[in-house]
């Protein structure tokens, strides 16, 4: 098996699904089917010692993050037979247009991002809306390390150890109403600290927006990440809070989140608004559906070079089909790309 996650133990009262989520039948169906697949996998864990990640630069983690590390679940989900991308590659080869359009721009320019204090707004079709300081937002959740493949729509890929928690846990906290069918995520808009937002790259109508169907968000693989490589997220990787959905192309994983809205209609996402024929709402990794300007059948795994391009075949759903394919049963994935 490619993915390993500890089996569920006894259920307690806090694990009971609120009535509002129960009423969202499609969401629960997707979550329960994926949950069965994951819960059947064997236990696997390692010591809480991230020092084996070579070349990790020291960060400046906030107090709430440091307090959660001792109880973190290391290796909660992992992949076998694939090397983890070096920290330098994962933090110096990025798309984060808020800080520039070149791959090195985010690492060079994101130092201006101020992540403390940080607030997250929860609104829309929820029983418990509110504006939360990030340290309060994170209080209910235990951090888990999730080692996932990351596949960019530009046909390069990485393997990254994230630190975060399942979005399904957030949904249980905020209690979506029966009208909630989608989740809309919004990135910080702050031209003072994000030079890309005040540049001539006018194609993007800021802020950056992404979305998921509710049952996709309920899938156990979908997480909100606050760290990577055993430390807090670097600014260029979406600090302090980003989305990670490993079976979708990387542009779905919206960074530096400030608003999470439960909505009844499919949200218009940023790249879908710019070029709907190239970037669909679902953005599932699919080697059989090419981008209009390049093939998606192959990918370049970083690190790579002129004499060692490290090209490999792309897997359907980025290799996570066993856990997520049921979400799209009966759909035409060439039309719903």
Whole domain around residue 131: which residue ranges? 13-328
CA distance linking residue 213 with residue 23, whole number of Å: 15
Rounded distance between C-alpha atoms, residue 1 and residue 264, angstroms: 36
Residue 2 lies in a domain: no
Which pTM value belongs to this model? 0.86
Tabulate helix, strand, coil % of the chain (nearest 5).
Answer: 30, 25, 50
In a domain, 313, yes or no: yes
Strand partners, 163: 145, 227
Distance CA 318, CA 148 (A): 10
**Which DSSP category does 61 fall into?**
-
Residue 3 in any domain: the answer is no
Number of residues that make up the chain: 337
Q: How confident is the model at residue 323 (pLDDT cuts 50, 70, 90)?
A: very high
Q: How many domains does the chain have?
A: 1
Tokens of 128: 């418990």
4 domain-assigned: no
Q: Please tell me which residue, 135 or 58, carries the higher pLDDT value.
A: 135
Query: Does a structural domain hold residue 113?
Result: yes
How much is the pLDDT for 6? 42
List pLDDT tens digits, range 283-295.
999 999 999 999 9
Any domain includes 333 = no
What are φ and ψ of residue 10, in 5° steps?
-60, 145
64 part of a folded domain: yes
* Whole-angstrom Cα Rg for the chain: 19
Tell me the CATH number at 142.
Answer: 3.90.420.10
- 329 Cβ contact partners less than 8 Å away, ≥ 6 residues apart: none
Q: Tokens 């290391």 label which residue?
A: 74
The 10s digit of each residue's pLDDT in 124-142 is: 999 999 999 999 999 999 9
Question: Per the domain annotation, does 186 fall within a domain?
Answer: yes
CB 62 within 8 A of CB 22: no
Q: What is the pLDDT of the chain when averaged over all its residues?
A: 88
């Amino acid at each position: 098996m490619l993915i390993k996650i500890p089996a569920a133990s006894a259920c307690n009262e806090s694990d009971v699904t609120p009535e509002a989520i129960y009423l969202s039948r499609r969401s629960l169906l997707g979550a329960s089917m994926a949950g069965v697949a994951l819960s059947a996998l064997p236990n696997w864990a390692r010591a809480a010692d991230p020092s084996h990640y070579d070349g990790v630069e020291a960060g400046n983690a906030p107090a709430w993050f440091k307090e959660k590390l001792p109880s973190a679940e290391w290796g909660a989900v992992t992949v076998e037979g694939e090397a983890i991308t070096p920290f330098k590659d994962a933090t110096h080869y990025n798309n984060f247009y808020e800080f520039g359009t070149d791959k090195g721009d985010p690492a060079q320019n994101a130092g201006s991002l101020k992540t403390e204090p940080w607030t997250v707004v929860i609104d829309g079709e929820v029983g418990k809306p509110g504006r939360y300081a990030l340290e309060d937002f994170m209080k209910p959740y235990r951090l888990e390390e999730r080692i996932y493949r990351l596949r960019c729509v530009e046909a390069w890929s990485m393997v990254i150890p994230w630190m975060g928690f399942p979005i399904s846990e957030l949904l249980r906290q905020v209690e979506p109403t029966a009208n909630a069918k989608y989740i809309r995520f919004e990135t910080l808009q702050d031209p003072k600290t994000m030079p890309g937002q005040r540049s001539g790259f006018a194609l993007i109508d800021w802020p950056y927006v992404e979305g998921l169907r509710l049952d996709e968000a309920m899938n156990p693989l979908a997480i909100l990440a606050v760290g990577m490589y055993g430390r807090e997220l670097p600014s260029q990787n979406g600090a302090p809070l980003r989305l990670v959905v490993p079976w979708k192309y990387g542009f779905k994983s919206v960074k530096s989140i400030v608003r999470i809205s439960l909505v009844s209609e499919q949200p218009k996402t940023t790249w879908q608004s710019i070029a709907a024929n190239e970037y669909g709402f679902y953005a599932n990794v699919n080697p059989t559906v090419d981008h209009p300007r390049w093939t998606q059948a192959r990918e370049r795994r970083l690190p790579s070079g002129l004499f060692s391009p490290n090209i490999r075949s792309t897997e359907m759903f980025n290799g996570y089909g066993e856990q997520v394919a049921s979400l799209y049963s009966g759909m035409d994935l060439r039309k719903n790309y």
